[in-house]
Protein backbone atom coordinates (compact mmCIF):
# COMPACT_ATOMS: atom_id res chain seq x y z
CA UNK A 1 0.00 0.00 0.00
CA UNK A 2 1.28 3.38 -1.03
CA UNK A 3 0.29 6.71 0.53
CA UNK A 4 0.01 10.02 -1.31
CA UNK A 5 0.28 13.26 0.62
CA UNK A 6 -0.03 16.34 -1.55
CA UNK A 7 0.50 19.93 -0.57
CA UNK A 8 2.15 23.22 -1.30
CA UNK A 9 4.83 22.59 1.34
CA UNK A 10 5.69 26.27 1.43
CA UNK A 11 7.60 25.30 3.56
CA UNK A 12 7.18 21.72 4.83
CA UNK A 13 6.74 21.62 8.63
CA UNK A 14 6.20 19.20 11.52
CA UNK A 15 2.41 19.36 11.04
CA UNK A 16 2.89 17.63 7.67
CA UNK A 17 5.73 15.37 8.76
CA UNK A 18 4.15 14.09 11.97
CA UNK A 19 0.81 13.27 10.32
CA UNK A 20 2.56 11.59 7.37
CA UNK A 21 4.52 9.40 9.78
CA UNK A 22 1.47 8.53 11.86
CA UNK A 23 -0.60 7.45 8.87
CA UNK A 24 2.35 5.47 7.49
CA UNK A 25 2.46 3.52 10.72
CA UNK A 26 -1.31 3.24 11.14
CA UNK A 27 -1.76 1.66 7.70
CA UNK A 28 1.62 -0.12 7.58
CA UNK A 29 2.34 1.62 4.27
CA UNK A 30 5.18 0.42 2.11
CA UNK A 31 5.88 4.05 1.32
CA UNK A 32 4.33 7.49 1.54
CA UNK A 33 4.99 10.00 -1.26
CA UNK A 34 4.92 13.66 -0.37
CA UNK A 35 4.10 15.46 -3.60
CA UNK A 36 4.56 19.22 -3.86
CA UNK A 37 2.33 20.92 -6.40
CA UNK A 38 3.89 22.98 -9.16
CA UNK A 39 0.96 25.35 -9.60
CA UNK A 40 -1.74 25.03 -6.96
CA UNK A 41 -5.11 25.29 -8.77
CA UNK A 42 -6.90 26.98 -5.86
CA UNK A 43 -4.52 29.54 -4.50
CA UNK A 44 -2.05 32.23 -5.38
CA UNK A 45 1.31 31.22 -6.73
CA UNK A 46 3.50 30.48 -3.67
CA UNK A 47 6.45 32.73 -2.84
CA UNK A 48 8.98 29.91 -3.07
CA UNK A 49 9.37 28.24 -6.46
CA UNK A 50 8.31 24.64 -6.86
CA UNK A 51 11.95 23.52 -7.11
CA UNK A 52 12.82 25.25 -3.82
CA UNK A 53 9.77 23.76 -2.09
CA UNK A 54 10.76 20.32 -3.37
CA UNK A 55 14.33 20.82 -2.17
CA UNK A 56 13.11 21.70 1.34
CA UNK A 57 10.95 18.58 1.35
CA UNK A 58 13.92 16.44 0.29
CA UNK A 59 16.00 17.90 3.10
CA UNK A 60 13.24 17.22 5.65
CA UNK A 61 12.88 13.60 4.49
CA UNK A 62 16.56 12.85 4.13
CA UNK A 63 17.33 9.62 5.99
CA UNK A 64 13.68 9.01 6.89
CA UNK A 65 12.73 5.49 5.83
CA UNK A 66 9.43 4.99 3.99
CA UNK A 67 8.86 8.67 3.21
CA UNK A 68 9.81 10.09 -0.16
CA UNK A 69 9.46 13.39 -1.99
CA UNK A 70 7.96 12.84 -5.43
CA UNK A 71 8.59 15.46 -8.13
CA UNK A 72 6.02 14.34 -10.72
CA UNK A 73 3.85 17.47 -10.46
CA UNK A 74 6.88 19.66 -11.18
CA UNK A 75 7.46 17.86 -14.43
CA UNK A 76 3.96 18.51 -15.74
CA UNK A 77 2.79 21.67 -17.49
CA UNK A 78 -0.22 23.61 -16.25
CA UNK A 79 -2.06 23.43 -12.93
CA UNK A 80 -1.30 20.49 -10.65
CA UNK A 81 -4.47 18.43 -10.61
CA UNK A 82 -4.47 15.54 -8.15
CA UNK A 83 -6.47 13.39 -10.54
CA UNK A 84 -3.60 13.54 -13.08
CA UNK A 85 -1.10 12.72 -10.35
CA UNK A 86 -3.07 9.67 -9.21
CA UNK A 87 -3.55 8.51 -12.78
CA UNK A 88 0.19 8.61 -13.38
CA UNK A 89 0.92 6.83 -10.09
CA UNK A 90 -1.66 4.19 -10.89
CA UNK A 91 0.17 3.38 -14.12
CA UNK A 92 3.29 2.59 -12.07
CA UNK A 93 1.58 0.81 -9.19
CA UNK A 94 -0.80 -1.46 -11.01
CA UNK A 95 -1.49 -3.99 -8.25
CA UNK A 96 -1.39 -1.89 -5.10
CA UNK A 97 -3.82 0.10 -3.04
CA UNK A 98 -3.18 3.83 -3.17
CA UNK A 99 -4.30 5.93 -0.22
CA UNK A 100 -4.73 9.64 -0.83
CA UNK A 101 -4.46 11.51 2.47
CA UNK A 102 -6.34 14.76 2.94
CA UNK A 103 -6.74 17.08 5.90
CA UNK A 104 -10.30 17.91 6.94
CA UNK A 105 -9.87 21.37 5.37
CA UNK A 106 -8.93 19.87 2.01
CA UNK A 107 -11.73 17.29 2.18
CA UNK A 108 -14.28 20.07 2.82
CA UNK A 109 -13.30 21.60 -0.53
CA UNK A 110 -12.92 18.35 -2.45
CA UNK A 111 -15.89 19.02 -4.72
CA UNK A 112 -14.10 22.05 -6.18
CA UNK A 113 -11.24 19.83 -7.39
CA UNK A 114 -10.86 19.02 -11.07
CA UNK A 115 -12.63 15.71 -11.84
CA UNK A 116 -12.96 15.00 -8.13
CA UNK A 117 -15.19 11.94 -8.56
CA UNK A 118 -12.50 10.24 -10.65
CA UNK A 119 -10.06 10.41 -7.71
CA UNK A 120 -11.85 7.31 -6.41
CA UNK A 121 -11.10 5.43 -9.64
CA UNK A 122 -7.41 5.51 -8.78
CA UNK A 123 -7.19 5.66 -4.97
CA UNK A 124 -8.97 5.44 -1.66
CA UNK A 125 -9.34 8.74 0.16
CA UNK A 126 -8.34 8.88 3.81
CA UNK A 127 -9.37 12.02 5.68
CA UNK A 128 -7.07 12.86 8.57
CA UNK A 129 -9.14 14.08 11.50
CA UNK A 130 -8.50 15.21 15.03
CA UNK A 131 -9.31 12.72 17.79
CA UNK A 132 -12.92 13.35 18.83
CA UNK A 133 -13.78 14.93 15.48
CA UNK A 134 -17.16 13.91 14.06
CA UNK A 135 -17.40 14.33 10.35
CA UNK A 136 -20.36 16.22 8.90
CA UNK A 137 -23.23 14.38 7.33
CA UNK A 138 -21.98 12.82 4.09
CA UNK A 139 -23.96 12.96 0.89
CA UNK A 140 -24.86 9.78 -0.98
CA UNK A 141 -21.74 9.81 -3.15
CA UNK A 142 -19.44 9.73 -0.13
CA UNK A 143 -21.70 7.66 2.08
CA UNK A 144 -21.69 4.80 -0.43
CA UNK A 145 -17.90 4.79 -0.30
CA UNK A 146 -17.44 5.14 3.45
CA UNK A 147 -15.91 2.13 5.21
CA UNK A 148 -15.20 1.60 8.91
CA UNK A 149 -12.71 -1.27 8.56
CA UNK A 150 -9.24 -0.33 7.33
CA UNK A 151 -8.62 -3.94 6.18
CA UNK A 152 -10.94 -3.20 3.24
CA UNK A 153 -8.48 -0.59 1.96
CA UNK A 154 -6.01 -3.37 1.33
CA UNK A 155 -8.51 -5.75 -0.22
CA UNK A 156 -9.57 -3.34 -2.91
CA UNK A 157 -7.15 -0.96 -4.63
CA UNK A 158 -9.32 2.16 -4.84
CA UNK A 159 -12.78 3.56 -4.30
CA UNK A 160 -13.33 3.80 -0.54
CA UNK A 161 -13.49 6.71 1.91
CA UNK A 162 -12.06 6.34 5.41
CA UNK A 163 -11.58 8.68 8.37
CA UNK A 164 -8.38 8.33 10.40
CA UNK A 165 -7.48 10.16 13.60
CA UNK A 166 -4.06 11.80 13.73
CA UNK A 167 -2.30 14.18 16.07
CA UNK A 168 -2.79 17.61 14.55
CA UNK A 169 -0.14 20.05 15.58
CA UNK A 170 -1.22 23.66 15.42
CA UNK A 171 1.42 24.59 12.84
CA UNK A 172 0.82 26.15 9.45
CA UNK A 173 3.15 27.21 6.67
CA UNK A 174 1.38 30.58 6.65
CA UNK A 175 2.30 31.19 10.32
CA UNK A 176 5.90 30.14 9.64
CA UNK A 177 6.21 32.54 6.69
CA UNK A 178 4.79 35.33 8.86
CA UNK A 179 7.30 34.65 11.65
CA UNK A 180 10.20 34.76 9.21
CA UNK A 181 8.90 38.00 7.62
CA UNK A 182 8.88 39.50 11.14
CA UNK A 183 12.44 38.29 11.67
CA UNK A 184 11.32 35.89 14.44
CA UNK A 185 12.76 32.44 15.04
CA UNK A 186 10.69 29.57 13.50
CA UNK A 187 12.76 26.91 15.29
CA UNK A 188 10.95 23.77 16.57
CA UNK A 189 8.10 24.20 14.06
CA UNK A 190 10.05 22.62 11.19
CA UNK A 191 13.34 20.75 10.74
CA UNK A 192 16.59 22.64 11.28
CA UNK A 193 17.80 21.57 7.83
CA UNK A 194 14.83 23.34 6.26
CA UNK A 195 15.39 26.46 8.36
CA UNK A 196 19.03 26.53 7.25
CA UNK A 197 17.93 26.31 3.61
CA UNK A 198 15.38 29.12 4.07
CA UNK A 199 18.05 31.30 5.64
CA UNK A 200 20.59 30.52 2.94
CA UNK A 201 18.14 31.34 0.15
CA UNK A 202 16.63 34.34 1.96
CA UNK A 203 13.10 32.95 1.57
CA UNK A 204 9.96 34.53 3.04
CA UNK A 205 11.60 37.75 4.15
CA UNK A 206 8.92 40.44 4.20
P1 LIG B 1 -0.55 27.19 4.20
O2 LIG B 1 -0.50 27.71 5.61
O3 LIG B 1 0.41 27.84 3.26
O4 LIG B 1 -1.98 27.15 3.68
P5 LIG B 1 -0.33 24.45 5.19
O6 LIG B 1 0.58 24.51 6.36
O7 LIG B 1 -1.83 24.31 5.46
O8 LIG B 1 -0.04 25.67 4.22
P9 LIG B 1 -0.31 22.68 2.85
O10 LIG B 1 0.92 22.38 2.10
O11 LIG B 1 -1.30 23.56 2.22
O12 LIG B 1 0.18 23.25 4.29
O13 LIG B 1 -1.02 21.36 3.38
C14 LIG B 1 -0.97 20.14 2.72
C15 LIG B 1 -1.78 19.11 3.50
O16 LIG B 1 -1.27 19.04 4.84
C17 LIG B 1 -3.27 19.43 3.67
O18 LIG B 1 -4.00 18.22 3.46
C19 LIG B 1 -3.41 19.90 5.08
O20 LIG B 1 -4.67 19.55 5.62
C21 LIG B 1 -2.30 19.15 5.80
N22 LIG B 1 -1.76 19.89 6.95
C23 LIG B 1 -1.17 21.09 6.94
N24 LIG B 1 -0.81 21.46 8.19
C25 LIG B 1 -1.16 20.47 9.01
C26 LIG B 1 -1.07 20.25 10.43
N27 LIG B 1 -0.52 21.14 11.25
N28 LIG B 1 -1.55 19.09 10.94
C29 LIG B 1 -2.11 18.18 10.11
N30 LIG B 1 -2.22 18.30 8.78
C31 LIG B 1 -1.77 19.44 8.22
81 lies in a domain?
Answer: yes
86 lies in a domain?
Answer: yes
Distance 72 CA to ligand 1 centre (A): 20
pLDDT of residue 44: 67
Structural domain boundaries enclosing 87: 2-200
Query: CA-CA distance, 55 to 106, in Å (whole number)?
Result: 24
- Look up the CATH number of the domain holding residue 91: 3.40.50.620
Give yes or no for residue 173 CB within 6 A of ligand 1.
yes
97 lies in a domain?
Answer: yes
206 lies in a domain?
Answer: no
pTM for the complete prediction? Answer: 0.94
Give yes or no for residue 107 CB within 6 A of ligand 1.
no
Give yes or no for residue 105 CB within 6 A of ligand 1.
yes
186 lies in a domain?
Answer: yes
Per-10-residue mean pLDDT, the chain, length 206? 96 97 98 91 75 97 97 92 97 95 94 97 95 83 96 97 93 96 97 98 92
Long-range CB pairs of 47-51, under 8 A, 24+ apart, other chains included: 47/10, 47/177, 47/203, 47/204, 48/10, 48/11, 48/203, 48/204, 50/74
pLDDT of residue 123: 98
205 lies in a domain?
Answer: no
167 lies in a domain?
Answer: yes
Domain count for the chain, please give it: 1
157 lies in a domain?
Answer: yes
Exposure string over 142-152, b if 16+ CB within 10 A, otherwise e: beeeebeebee
Query: Do the Cβ atoms of 83 and 118 come closer than 8 Å?
Result: yes
pLDDT of residue 132: 74
Distance 180 CA to ligand 1 centre (A): 18
ipTM for this model: 0.95
Amino acid sequence: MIGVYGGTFNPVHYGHLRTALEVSEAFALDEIRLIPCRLPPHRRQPQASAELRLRMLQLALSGVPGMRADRRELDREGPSYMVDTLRSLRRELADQSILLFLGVDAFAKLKTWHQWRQLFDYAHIVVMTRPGHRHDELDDFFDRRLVERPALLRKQQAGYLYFQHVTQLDISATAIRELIALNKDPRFLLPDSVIAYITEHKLYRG
